[in-house]
Amino acid sequence: MQRLALLLLCAAAPVWATLPERLSQTGLGEAQVRAFEPRFALWSDGATKRRWIALPPGAQVDASQPDAWRFPVGTRLWKEFSVDGQPVETRHFVLVADGRWEFASYVWNGADAVKAPARGQVLTLPGGRRYDVPSVGDCMACHAGARSPVLGFAALQLGPAVPALLRDGLLKNAPGAWATQAPDFIAAGAPEQAARGYLHANCGHCHFQGGVPVPLRLALDVGQPPAAVDAAAVLRRAGTRNPYQQMPPLGTREVDATGLALLAHHFNKPENRP
């Protein structure tokens, strides 16, 4: 049921389409390409990531909806995954004229990277570690279900970088307060902000009002408050890599021990207990 719900979201999703066969042909080295770094990372089995965006000359991102920025046609984004200091994969998004996002993933083979098959690919890295290059369906299961297909270049994720984006003319229709005060979570302190940020990056792109339809058990343990059940479910799913139970459901083979400890500490604080 869980995977069916995710796949149904891909019916109107972007396609692998006609992007170049090599990463070097996508324009990543052009002058208008800008690096950015989300504050809160999606867990990717310890891989390190770099990200870039390029807008057409004179174009701006419409920030009038803080949770769903609208990007101009011709927007390009890249995300590079590295393991043990070596680039393994770079994913590429392009918004084309008919409003579709075209997507491709490129596998590194030295100085360049070659477009992977649309069905995905499993790589064996030095030391025998397996690395999953996602299929287009896997990628869109997350990106097509979100308020915006672009997950990392967004208000809460960019936070302190937003005023600079405004000064540089990359955003329009943004709330006036953003010029001096970056958008942020309402949190009691740094630990709570970190926990909220982790949930936002690893869960929030699917689990929001109007997001992925989630099948729920219609039974609770007698005498156990619903909030405690919710917290236990989050920790249980984050702490397993059983493919039918894990969260996030795709893109990871290893439990994020640091993230799991962060969530456990957050849910076990007295003020967060039911």
Secondary structure (H, E, C), 148-217 = CCCCCCCHHHHHHHHHHHHHCCCEECCCHHHHCCCCCCCCCCHHHHHHHHHHHHHCCCCCCCCCCCCCCC
Question: Which tokens hold the place of 273?
Answer: 């207990």
Give the β-pairing of 101-108 and 113-115. Answer: antiparallel
Q: Is residue 223 scored above 50 in pLDDT?
A: no
C-alpha–C-alpha distance, residues 120 and 133, integer Å: 5
Query: Span 17-42, mean pLDDT?
Result: 92
Query: Span 248-253, mean pLDDT?
Result: 70
C-alpha–C-alpha distance, residues 119 and 243, integer Å: 18
Question: How far lies 36's CA from each of 50, 256, 266, in Å?
Answer: 8, 23, 28
DSSP 173: S
Question: Which tokens hold the place of 231?
Answer: 């917290």
Which of 95-99, 105-109, 225-229 has the largest mean confidence? Answer: 105-109
Q: What is the pLDDT of residue 222?
A: 35
What pTM value is reported for the model? 0.80
Question: How far lies 175's CA from each of 66, 161, 178, 179, 181, in Å?
Answer: 8, 15, 6, 8, 10
Q: What is the pLDDT of residue 251?
A: 63
Domain that holds residue 56: 1-274
- For residue 52, the Cα-to-chain-centroid distance in whole angstroms is 14
Phi, psi of 29 (to 5 degrees): -90, 5
How many domains, the chain? Answer: 1
- The rounded percent of the chain whose pLDDT value lies above 90 is 44
Q: Would you call the peptide bond into 72 cis, given omega within 30 degrees of 0 as the criterion?
A: no
C-alpha–C-alpha distance, residues 66 and 179, integer Å: 14
Q: What is the pLDDT of residue 227?
A: 58
Question: Which tokens hold the place of 175?
Answer: 């709330």
Nearest residue to 203 via CA among 91, 46, 40: 40
The DSSP secondary structure of 21-67, one letter per residue, reads SBGGGTTTTSTT-EEE--SSPPP-TT-EEEEEEEPPTT--EE-SSTT
pLDDT, tens digit, 9 for 90 and up, residues 126-140: 999 999 998 887 777
Higher pLDDT among residues 244 and 273, named by residue: 244
pLDDT, tens digit, 9 for 90 and up, residues 142-152: 666 556 789 89
Nearest residue to 134 via CA among 91, 93, 86, 96: 91
Cα-Cα-Cα-Cα dihedral sign, residues 174, 62, 9, 198 = negative
